[in-house]
Structure 1
């Protein structure tokens, strides 16, 4: 059978051990059927083969965001943009929003960051001035802190006598009255009384969002949102409109339901598969709720928040493990990471006694933002996937220095992990950070903010990766984490035709320019989901 498409005159990085760089490849139906030189591949063509001249452009395997919140990201089009440079600007935006929103209807938004403002946390009264008759709920940049006004707290029946929920804290003033700030699970007190979108609404948002993702070179993602996200993804898959390869990780609150349904990690089809069971061990750096072995600098009574105790995690993990479900655990602080590693080492011992190899259940730590030196080698030794987000380092570097001090030698330590032999799978944590994987590659290679200043010096540069290492974390590493290394991650014959064409050779351009790279084409399953006008 002759190829349906042939791409020639390119710089095609296959990421394979052999034929790592070729100039041409053939696509038959939905798979790569051949790679090689222009002359070798062109002789396979028939009159029906569509030949595309890449004009010496770079091609890499399709990139996968190994950690994002797809539902939350998709909802941003309907939310207030709370990521303003100061509180005054945000309050003005909220004031304008009340003029076009019926009273009693919720106003929601995401992205505020009091650290960026250089202020203490805001309060409900800041919003009450401009929105006394609208319930307002704004998630913070880290998604581990939220801000509500008095109307929202009234609807949630939150008052002085409301206790802090397990794993969360209600912010209070000096008299013990709730002040409108909610940490970790306390945010759920507000969320629980908010009107829910329908599954169809969520699915429609995702349809629009996936088009944006194609334009960034993403061909898949690993999702960490709640059950409605899974239901919407199932709907898209059933309607043959899901155009991304998705791994859906399930919250631990649904563990019994997942087991009863018969789901197992890795089950599913070529578009939608089940991932692991998600547990939160702690919070985040920005909210100073990450769980620490020693207190925060400048906040010496604060060790963060323990959302899940180590023995509770072990209980959940044992139950998941015996039912064929891998674990995927959020851990930011050094204490949180240590306790997850303790549990994973217990799991690995049990698996070994059963005769199960580590590749059967590919446990992950999400974020791995700070490790104690004694724990640097433990992910690799237990074959735990380090699911990390490069842009977190460049976004958090000032805060990390301020609140973690000398401990930053173990912060966002990709080089330490890759040299130890751990598998890296990179993502964005969107909408916390930009979902653009090229921005992530830039951050991984330079550990610098996006700037045109070629003299910029990165942060903790001993942890920088090469371009090839960063690309592999978005491709091969993400494929392994999804149990899909046999059909994704490299551009070799027999693998699915997921690839990206870039307007710049990121392997050879100035590393500081990587973030300016544009995607010219994104192919998924042999079909161009996005293609610039000059790529026909």
Structure 2
């Protein structure tokens, strides 16, 4: 067998095989032609056995684990790249504390004249005080301030920012859902070369965590930007680029169908699903539920059960359009009522696809995922971030919240992700949360909804053309080498998994210590 130029021989690795739930005995693995060319007993992968002519790179792996590369199945890549450079508000436990962080930044590192101070990550559902524009106006003067919530579904703006982004005179400065999504897009209006540099840095950081691919849900259509980035040299990740309704016609005009590779991208970029956000979020109290959210006594709430952002009479034609164009659909649904309506829409139109989040489900809806052949695209770290919020806002219903165990038992296919920047773009964090529902020393939260490691690992691999779930000859050489065994290590090690190397198509995208 000819290894060919650019071949890699990984000596003494332990691999996850289809017939096992754990790692096997040490083997040598030869990568050639972008794929796994051979798996042979450890110590036998010599130049004679492989037919090597001297062009193979030999890497001593010392018994490390070798797994298929990890995917993050739900990312907002531009927002994640920007959030990594924004004021971190995730530690604020009150509106006053959040405002204090803003005041400190304005005093120590104010934005340049005309620029916006942007913070990210506040979660106000459990705050003892109210986030109001007056708190920000008292410290910010004429500097526009936009604070983005950790769930991306609302913003807290001062008066200057309200005026700048079309909400002059807004009584509270709290902008939610579709109106805030427009602000989010406006905040991404930075020069292409600047944003592309931020994305390249974020992609490199993902590679260092063993990520070989992402599904990018950046609005309204990230495919053209990714084509530009790949051509410019950002080639560490495979990207499946979704499209939102406002750009659906543009994607259809290209003739690309679900999973088609975009020409000129070296196989790294494919056409992704139509993304539709049908309801809001838990923290913002806009996830569309059958039961009302708890409210202060005497309060008059316009939408006590949350918000249905795109009703069925709009969803069904969108899905039919995607189906007829050969595309799949990815529908955001968090509340139980929203999930019922989305499942109904998939059933009525016959389109293939996935439900993003699926955070609260009725018992009757759980088996429908498998019956309809839908993927449950879930973000396990949200179960840990939101456990206290869910206990308050979904009191009495949390046994069916983040119900990964129930979905798996009913035959649904799971795909794990982060929803970065809502949670970090790190597949080991998601995987650890799926198998051990605690990260802070407290008792595990609804451990009956945990999934085992083999299932979680399978849900972390890429479900893309040419991929093979477990490492085998012929599989695409998208791989990760880890210093610890992810099938047996303790939860803390799993969460912080040390990654020794990442390869995409047999090409190193990250190396550390090998």
User: 2: distance between equivalents of 1:517 and 1:147?
Assistant: 35
Q: Which residue of structure 2 aligns with residue 62 of structure 1?
A: 69
User: 1: distance between equivalents of 2:8 and 2:83?
Assistant: 36
Secondary structure in 2 matching 1:317: helix
The Cα of 1:88 is off from its aligned counterpart by 4.1
User: 1: distance between equivalents of 2:132 and 2:118?
Assistant: 16
The Cα of 1:76 is off from its aligned counterpart by 2.3
Are the aligned partners of 1:5 and 1:27 in contact in 2 as well (CA < 8 Å)? Answer: yes
Q: Paired residue for 1:76, among 74, 78, 83?
A: 83
The Cα of 1:523 is off from its aligned counterpart by 1.2
Alignment gaps of 5+ in structure 1? 161-176, 349-360
Deviates more, 1:97-106 or 1:413-422: 97-106
Q: 1:17 to 1:267 in 2, by over 3 A?
A: farther
**Count of residue pairs the alignment pairs up:** 495
Q: 1:136 to 1:488 in 2, by over 3 A?
A: farther
The TM-score normalised by the length of structure 1 is 0.87
Q: Which residue of structure 1 aligns with residue 9 of structure 2?
A: 6
2:29 corresponds to 1:25: yes
Are the aligned partners of 2:23 and 2:65 in contact in 1 as well (CA < 8 Å)? Answer: no
User: 1: distance between equivalents of 2:113 and 2:234?
Assistant: 36
The Cα of 1:16 is off from its aligned counterpart by 6.3
- Listed one character per residue, the Cα deviations across residues 158-185 of structure 1 (whole Å, up to 9, x for unaligned) are 246xxxxxxxxxxxxxxxx520101101
Alignment gaps of 5+ in structure 2? none
User: 1: distance between equivalents of 2:21 and 2:452?
Assistant: 20
Q: Which residue of structure 1 aligns with residue 230 of structure 2?
A: 237
User: 1: distance between equivalents of 2:34 and 2:435?
Assistant: 32
Q: 1:309 to 1:394 in 2, by over 3 A?
A: same
Show the 5 A alignment for 1:364-383: 364-383=354-373
User: 2: distance between equivalents of 1:193 and 1:495?
Assistant: 41
Q: 1:288 to 1:195 in 2, by over 3 A?
A: closer
The TM-score normalised by the length of structure 2 is 0.91
User: 1: distance between equivalents of 2:363 and 2:294?
Assistant: 18
Q: Which residue of structure 2 aligns with residue 327 of structure 1?
A: 329
Q: CA RMSD in A?
A: 2.2
Are the aligned partners of 2:274 and 2:330 in contact in 1 as well (CA < 8 Å)? Answer: yes
The Cα of 1:336 is off from its aligned counterpart by 0.5
Q: Which residue of structure 2 aligns with residue 174 of structure 1?
A: none
Secondary structure in 2 matching 1:292: coil
- Listed one character per residue, the Cα deviations across residues 132-190 of structure 1 (whole Å, up to 9, x for unaligned) are 11111111000011111000112234246xxxxxxxxxxxxxxxx52010110121454
The Cα of 1:445 is off from its aligned counterpart by 0.7
The Cα of 1:250 is off from its aligned counterpart by 0.6
Q: Which residue of structure 2 aligns with residue 38 of structure 1?
A: 42
Q: Paired residue for 1:418, among 408, 418, 437?
A: 408
2:104 corresponds to 1:113: no
User: 2: distance between equivalents of 1:298 and 1:92?
Assistant: 28
Q: Paired residue for 1:218, among 211, 223, 226?
A: 211
Show the 5 A alignment for 1:283-302: 283-298=280-295, 302=304
Q: Which residue of structure 2 aligns with residue 354 of structure 1?
A: none
Q: Which residue of structure 1 aligns with residue 502 of structure 2?
A: 522
Q: 1:439 to 1:18 in 2, by over 3 A?
A: closer
User: 1: distance between equivalents of 2:135 and 2:22?
Assistant: 60
Q: Which residue of structure 2 aligns with residue 314 of structure 1?
A: 316
Show the 5 A alignment for 1:249-398: 249-269=242-262, 270-298=267-295, 302-348=304-350, 362-398=352-388
- Listed one character per residue, the Cα deviations across residues 299-351 of structure 1 (whole Å, up to 9, x for unaligned) are 69610011010121011111111111111100000000000000101122xxx
The Cα of 1:120 is off from its aligned counterpart by 4.0
Are the aligned partners of 1:425 and 1:474 in contact in 2 as well (CA < 8 Å)? Answer: yes
User: 1: distance between equivalents of 2:290 and 2:413?
Assistant: 25
Q: 1:467 to 1:157 in 2, by over 3 A?
A: closer
User: 1: distance between equivalents of 2:86 and 2:196?
Assistant: 16
Q: Which residue of structure 2 aligns with residue 446 of structure 1?
A: 436
Q: Which residue of structure 2 aligns with residue 508 of structure 1?
A: 488
2:112 corresponds to 1:102: yes
Q: 1:201 to 1:158 in 2, by over 3 A?
A: same
2:447 corresponds to 1:461: yes
User: 2: distance between equivalents of 1:216 and 1:120?
Assistant: 38
Secondary structure in 2 matching 1:373: coil
